[in-house]
Structure formats: structure tokens, C-alpha cells
Amino acid sequence: GAVVSQHPSWVICKSGTSVKIECRSLDFQATTMFWYRQFPKQSLMLMATSNEGSKATYEQGVEKDKFLINHASLTLSTLTVTSAHPEDSSFYICSASQTREETQYFGPGTRLLVL
Amino acid sequence: EDQVTQSPEALRLQEGESSSLNCSYTVSGLRGLFWYRQDPGKGPEFLFTLYSAGEEKEKERLKATLTKKESFLHITAPKPEDSATYLCAYSGNTPLVFGKGTRLSVIA
């Protein structure tokens, strides 16, 4: 149980294009989903928290107009990186939990490379 | 300021050589202390949640314990497949805050 998937696992795009990453909870309903970013040999950095049917809460320093988050259902959240630039290249990981306070289960991650 | 510190940063063990990883925290209103395992290029895999001092949980060769100031992840007779980065995180008034992790290498 508690399986979270992400798609795609790898994406390479040109600078200036937008990229959408999907996060799905496969066997439970996720009231809350989280998006993280991880640089090589560093820990996870929380970007935003999203609750189903409401606007995401972004962490300080994260541009909400650049990283668009939609949590349209209890099993799906999407992260769209708009007008991606090389500095947006990173490993993006989502997690899901049944409530904000409960255990988070993580997806396998999406590696984004912007050329 | 709430924070979590993991030590050591890296640990190299021989197969069968037991050891412990440390996670110390300073946070008010701790709701839970979490341990995850992360393999290179993958998302973290949930291991344990601890909620109160004195609590212990075990899974195969791993045992997690919690005091009022720190948590330990004990690894008994590790095998090469236990090699990974082990992350601890706390939840308090904010969502999970992660430590920087301990990179464990187990040599056959």
C-alpha cells in the first residue's frame, strides 16, 4: 500500500518551454500533496504544499508564477515549470499524505534537464 | 529556530558491523519524527514514524528509537543492500523538515 507514482521520470527540454510533472497516489486518497526539489548530494527542499481543491501554499523564495501547482483530485497533483531555464534543472519529488500531519509517501522523482 | 541535525554525514561499515545513526532535533511541538531511506536517483522510502519519547520501532535489521532530543537508527549486522542515504525529518507546526542525511556504505 501507499504507492505514489510520478510521470515522467526523465524530461529534457529547451530553455523557455514549459514542463508538466504528474504525481498520483495509486492506492489511497491524498488530501495533501507536497512538492520538493533536491540538488545533488543535498537534502530535500520543500517547494509547496497543496490541498485538494484549494490553492497551493508556497515556501518562501519559491516563485508561484513559475511553479504552478494544481491538485484537482484526491489522487492527482501536477507541477508545471513555466518558461524553464537551465537553473531549473533539478530532481523534483512529490509526496502524498492522507492529512497534512500524517506520514508522507514519496514518488520516485522526476529529473528535469533544461538545455 | 527549529532544526534537525544528522550525524555522521557519511559512514562506511563492513558487512555485519553494527552501528547507529543519529538525528538530533530542536523543535517545539514535535508531532512526529520520521526516518526514510533514499537510494541514488530515487524518491525517499518510508521506514518509521515515532511520536513520543521512549518509543521504538523495528523492521528487519533496522531499529529506530526516540528521546526528547534525538533519535537513533540502529543497524544490526548490515548487508551491502543496506547502503543508501538515511534521512530523518520532523513534523511540528510546519510540514516535514529534513536533515541532510547520513550516507551509509556497507562493504562486503
Q: Got the DSSP string for A1-60?
A: ---EEEE-SEEEE-TT--EEEEEEESSS--SEEEEEEE-TTS--EEEEEEETTS--EEPT
Q: Do A111 and B41 touch (CB under 8 A)?
A: yes
Q: What is the pLDDT of residue B31?
A: 85
Other beta carbons within 10 Å of A50: 26
Q: State residue A16's pLDDT score.
A: 96
- For residue A93, give the nearest of B31, B34, B43 by CB distance: B43
A2–B41 C-beta distance less than 8 A: no
Nearest CA in chain B to A111: B41
Mean pLDDT in residue range A12-40:
94
For residue A104, what is the DSSP state?
Answer: P
Residues B12-28: pLDDT tens digits? 999 999 999 999 998 77
Q: Per CB distance under 8 Å, which residues of B are interface residues toward A?
A: 31-32, 34, 36, 41-46, 49, 87, 91, 95-101
pLDDT of residue B1: 62
Please report which confidence band the pLDDT of residue B96 belongs to, taking 50, 70 and 90 as the band edges. Answer: confident
A101 with B31: Cβ contact below 8 A = yes
**Confidence at residue B2, expressed as pLDDT on a 0 to 100 scale:** 62
User: Which residue is closest to B6 within chain A, CA to CA?
Assistant: A43
- Whether residue B44 and residue A93 make contact (CB cut-off 8 A), yes or no, is yes
The reported pLDDT for the residue numbered A100 is: 66
Cα B106 from chain centre: 16
- How do residues B39-88 score in pLDDT, each as one tens digit? 999 999 999 999 999 999 999 999 999 998 999 999 999 999 999 999 99
Within 8 A of A6 by CB-CB distance, chain B residues are 43
- Please tell me the least confidently modeled range out of A56-60, A101-105, B62-66: A101-105
> Strand pairing partners for A17?
none
Tell me the mean pLDDT in the region A43-55: 89
